[in-house]
Amino acid sequence: MFRYIVNRVLWLPVLLLIISFITFALGVYGPGDPVQQLLGQRSDPETVARIRRELGLDRPLLVQYADYVGRALRGDFGESITVARGQPVAKLIARGLWVSIQLNAVAVALGVVVGVPLGVLAAIRRNTLLDYVTTAGVVMGISLPSFLTAPILLWLLSYKVRLLPPGGWDGLFSRSVILPAIVLGAGPVAVFARQTRANLIEVLDQDYVRTARAKGLPEVLILGRHALRNALIPLITIFGLMLGGLVTGAFITETIFGIPGIGRLGFRAFSARDYPILTALTLLIAVSYTLANLLVDVLYAFVDPRIRYE
């Protein structure tokens, strides 16, 4: 177990090196030269060359990359080229990160608070109307893209019925959170509901549940003391996998609702080919995704003693 964790942690820097190199190379060879973007129409070759030199874009790829790694290790991820000229990338990301974390936390919380009870209900009322409605809702939650649900909700709840503000960010506890949270939370709710339902149905078929029933234990106790615990453990793994999907979803959702998080920052950086921001964002997402999954694996082995890692 200990060796497994050490191995995984040692692999992390290698992973980061590979990922940063790929992103960096894509950035350097990418289209939409940031210098061109910066200068717009009035770009004479001389100015372009001068700015390229200033930004260090005329050096060989490996030199640029080594330089980048060296500075990144000291917390310097370069400066934004086009989105916010001259601002340090680390600062821009730090500013958006807290907003995004709050928004994603709401989405995951929705997933647990709504999804798990729904899944439990669907499992114990199996093959009833409730179960069918839940299943249909789950498929909808998984398959409806956020670029469809967001405009529909906006049109319905913000334009037709002026119930909620159409966007913006006024902190976690404001009405403007509600719409983006629903759009972003639909996926997690669906995934949690589906997994809970499937796990619980499987657990309820187990011998020890039959034994508990034979003992004449009330159904509530069977569920609470025996079935649920075992059904919910596998849900831990979803948390790790969900992180990657959420960030991607936040890309579109934050842009549509005008929320100043890292998703919208990423969208703007991409549109303006601001590669320093994109590279740093990719790294950040990769690190958090990998760390979260490591944590999940360790936690899983801790909660379920049957699991052993070599």
Residues that bind another protein (CB under 8 A): 11, 15, 18-19, 22-23, 26-27, 29-32, 139-140, 142-145, 147-148, 151-152, 154-155, 159, 244, 247-248, 251-252, 256, 266-267, 270-271, 273, 278, 281-282, 285-286, 289-290
Which C-beta is closer to another protein: that of 26 or that of 105?
A: 26
CB of 215 to another protein, least distance (A): 29
Closest contact distance (angstroms) between CB of 30 and another protein is 5
Rounded Cα distance between 253 and 180, Å, is 7
Q: What is the dihedral of CA 143, 145, 150, 151, to 10 degrees?
A: -110
Under DSSP, is residue 163 helix (H, G, I), strand (E, B) or coil? coil
* Distance from C-alpha of 278 to C-alpha of 31, rounded to nearest angstrom: 14
Q: Closest distance between another protein and the C-beta of residue 249, in Å?
A: 9
Beta strands, E only, 53-187:
none
With vertex at residue 140, the alpha carbon angle to CA 134 and CA 144, rounded to the nearest 5 degrees, is 160
CB of 170 within 8 A of CB of 205?
A: no
Distance from C-alpha of 279 to C-alpha of 25, rounded to nearest angstrom: 10
Spatial separation of the C-alpha atoms in residues 86 and 88, rounded to whole Å: 6
* 39 within 8 A of 51, measured Cβ to Cβ: yes
Residue 256's nearest CA partner among 173, 179, 143, 186 is: 179
Closest approach of another protein to the CB of residue 4, in Å: 15
Residue showing tokens 């379920």: 304
For another protein, the closer of residues 19 and 90 by Cβ is 19
Beta bridge partners of 88: 79
* Beta-bridge mates of residue 79: 88
Least separation in angstroms between residue 217's CB and another protein is 28
Q: Give whichever of 143 and 211 is closer to another protein, judged by the CB atom.
A: 143
Least Cβ distance, residue 173 to another protein (angstroms): 27
Q: Which is nearer to another protein, 212 or 275 (CB)?
A: 275
Of 188, 162, 187, 185, whose CA–CA distance to 175 is shortest?
Answer: 162
Q: By C-beta, is 62 or 221 nearer to another protein?
A: 62
Closer of 101 and 142 to another protein (Cβ): 142
Which residue, 43 or 248, is less far from another protein as judged by CB? Answer: 248
Residue 302 beta carbon to another protein: minimum distance, rounded to whole angstroms: 22
